[in-house]
Amino acid sequence: MADLVKPSDEVVNNAYIKDYESLYRDSLEHPDGFWENIAKELFWYKPWDKVLVGKHPYYDWFAGGHTNIVANAIDRWQKTDKKNQLALIWEGQDGKVKQYTYQQLNEEVSRAANALKSLGVKKGDHVSIYMPRIPEQTISMLACAKIGAVHSVVYSGFSVQALKSRIEDAECKIAITADGYHFRDKLVETKKTVDDAVKDLSFVKTVVVVKRTGNPVAFTEGRDIWWEDLVSKQDSICSTEMMDSNDPLFILYTSGSTGKPKGVLHAHGGYMVGTYATSKYVFNLQSDDVYWCAADPGWITGHSYIVYAPFINGVTNLIYEGPPDYPDAGKWWSLIEKYKVSKFYTAPTVVRALMKYGDEIPQKYDLSSLKILGSVGEPINPEAWEWYYKIVGKEKCPIMDTWWQTETGMHIITPIPSLPLKPGSACKPFFGIKADVVDEKGNSVPVNTQGYLVLKKPWPAMLKDVYKDPKKYTDLYWGKIPGTYFTGDFAKKDADGYFWILGRNDDVLKVSGYRFGSAELESAFVEHPSVAEAAVIGKPHEVKGESIKAFVILKVGKQPTDELKTELKQLVRKLIGPIATPDEIEFVTALPKTRSGKIMRRVLKAKELGQPLGDTSTLED
Ligand code: PRX
């Protein structure tokens, strides 16, 4: 594969932005002007007084402005012909299809918003959403935003404990869930998980349950209510709450290097402008696009690039409930053919998994509707990139390898369609973004040298704070290299200014694109009565990107058996969720530690991979 993959004339001619370099230069010279021009494309009840104000590291974007992200995602289309365009096409794993025009989506969201109001939910209240990938998941999120409530979505693959700690931290009075869903041929009982999670949380007053499978579920009198009974009787008109640009929109928990997941807080205005701009320019969104981001709305990719940005851009948004290779490995390709998807956005782990089934499978389907492909969540290796480019995109669809995070809210380092691509590189900073690769003192490192990826300017969709933990916000993100936002990723920059993301530098794992902290996994292991201590590392994995390996020290007298390994795997599944199932467990009698007692996971990993151990001067023994 060539080092530089140039876009075709057709791609460049159709692109909104034809000359990345000059606009980028301009956007850095006049960032306020750049973002202001984009914000002006959107609806505001009251325009902002200033584009950016703040006292480092707290920033207010579009300060003084009044808007609501739903006013832009849904309301503004109602007075235009777009109200008759399909906003959302949903297909279930069982083949059931539901479609909503922008007008119908507005009606559904309004009913759900009125339903929440009837339950006493007000502006600023927190609502937990723990749902499978069904339309009501998206509708609930939009309904919360519409009335100014703050959603806290928990991915439906998380377990009781993980859900409970998130509901507890965010003090959600209401939880919305479904009776269950089928993942492949297994029934996942989401309602039961919610029951177990909230049973000791007396502040949870109501649990709303969508009927997805019809499997019998227990109902707690006075607390539980069917979505269908509650929502269908509501009025389909509901006024959208006028929000201050910096009022909170959602909390989304994400794993970090310290034990407990952090509640990342995002606000309406800046997040709206940032996700709108990036999706528009990166995917070159056009009003007749059928856009499919195959993530789950439970993660940041789904929040930004399923639930909000596509609707703000007025495209037709496809959501599919099931996994890529069920009932067969052609399922997702068949959906691209069926719905004539033009923009498709997925994770490298999916590409690698589907690649294993061979070229013949995608070749059986008509994928000619595709125009742009996207990748997110972890580095895409050149082999997978090439397969995606050649076999899926037929060498005519540029691949947008978008680097960003829960915290950044929007794409940060990313190609745009007119930019020549380098397979495996996330390419260049988005407009207005000042990124650099530095050493621990904050000095830029030479080209092609590994360093810390940092951001040197605020950006509109940046997190506002860590919920209830401002110290984490200031210290973990802005305190490591003063004055810059510390991403936690290693990267290098080449002579052409292309960024290459080299993985995390902070004990955060990316397993099939899912983010876990070593410490979070370790605390699950030590819950077991036989375990004295555990250390977890990520190991390179052909399909998943990284796999989870745990080193476990048992308590005196406990036997290291295979049964115990199975028990420990079950325990981690139970405490965090099946997505966190450890791949390997090794019983050991000691762990490498610093003299102050901190486990040196870096040393464990180097040893495991047969690499040089690096600086071991602080090693205790
Ligand atoms: O390590 C980077 C990796 O995913 C991390 C952020 O994870 P999360 O908050 O779960 O958000 C994932 C979806 C935006 C980053 O710190 N990452 C994300 N995108 C890429 C990536 N690594 C390499 N290339 C990417 N395109």
- The confidence score (pLDDT) of residue 621 equals 67
pLDDT band at 1 (very low <50, low <70, confident <90, very high): low
Per-residue pLDDT, averaged over 458-475, amounts to 97
Neighbouring C-beta atoms of residue 74, cutoff 10 Å? 26
Percentage of the chain exceeding pLDDT 90: 96
CA of 57 to the centre of ligand 1 (A): 22
pLDDT band at 257 (very low <50, low <70, confident <90, very high): confident
pLDDT band at 2 (very low <50, low <70, confident <90, very high): low
Q: What is the pLDDT of residues 284-304, one digit of tens each?
A: 999 999 999 999 999 999 999
> If we measure between CA atoms, which residue out of 312, 545, 496 comes closest to residue 410?
312
As a 3-state breakdown, the chain gives helix, strand, coil percent values, each rounded to 5, of 30, 25, 45
Residues 6+ apart with CB under 8 A from 535: 518, 522, 550, 551, 591, 599, 601, 604
* CB of 139 closer than 8 Å to CB of 87: no
Q: Residue with structure tokens 């969104």?
A: 285
- Listed in sequence order, the DSSP H helices in 204-299 are 227-232, 268-282
- Compute φ and ψ for 361, nearest 5 degrees: -65, -60
Q: Is the CB of 61 under 6 A from ligand 1?
A: no
Residues 6+ apart with CB under 8 A from 572: 521, 524, 525, 580, 581, 582
| Tokens matching residue 268 | 């309406």
Per-residue pLDDT, averaged over 379-403, amounts to 97
User: Nearest C-alpha to atom 11 of ligand 1 is from which residue?
Assistant: 405
Ligand 1 atom closest to residue 299's alpha carbon, by position in its atom list: 10
Per-residue pLDDT, averaged over 181-190, amounts to 97
Neighbouring C-beta atoms of residue 447, cutoff 10 Å? 12
> If we measure between CA atoms, which residue out of 514, 599, 485, 452 comes closest to residue 261?
514
- The confidence score (pLDDT) of residue 555 equals 97
Provide the whole-model pTM: 0.97
Q: Which of 255, 408, 410, 510 to mutate for ligand 1's pocket (most ligand atoms within 8 Å of CB)?
A: 510
CA of 398 to the centre of ligand 1 (A): 20
Q: Return the C-alpha torsion angle 492, 494, 500, 506, nearest 10.
A: 0
Q: What is the pLDDT of residues 331-376, one digit of tens each?
A: 999 999 999 999 999 999 999 999 999 999 999 999 999 999 999 9
Per-residue pLDDT, averaged over 577-598, amounts to 95
Which residues lie across from 594 on neighbouring strands? 619
- Report whether pLDDT(229) > 70: yes
Residues of the chain with CATH 3.30.300.30: 512-609
Per-residue pLDDT, averaged over 480-509, amounts to 96
Residues of the chain with CATH 3.40.50.12780: 1-433+455-477
- Listed in sequence order, the DSSP H helices in 290-444 are 300-302, 309-312, 331-339, 348-355, 360-363, 382-387
CA of 404 to the centre of ligand 1 (A): 5
Q: Which fold has domain 1-433+455-477?
A: Rossmann fold (3.40.50)
- The confidence score (pLDDT) of residue 162 equals 95
CATH code at 512-609: 3.30.300.30
CA of 378 to the centre of ligand 1 (A): 5
Residue 599 to residue 619: CA distance in whole angstroms: 9
Q: What is the pLDDT of residues 514-564, one digit of tens each?
A: 999 999 999 999 999 999 999 999 999 999 999 999 999 999 999 999 999
- The confidence score (pLDDT) of residue 596 equals 87
Per-residue pLDDT, averaged over 191-196, amounts to 98
- Report whether pLDDT(475) > 70: yes
CA of 401 to the centre of ligand 1 (A): 10
Containing 485, the helix (H) or strand (E) segment is strand 485-493
Q: Residue with structure tokens 């009125």?
A: 114
Q: Which of 410, 501, 506, 546 to mutate for ligand 1's pocket (most ligand atoms within 8 Å of CB)?
A: 501
Residue 207 to residue 258: CA distance in whole angstroms: 31
Ligand 1 atom closest to residue 487's alpha carbon, by position in its atom list: 16
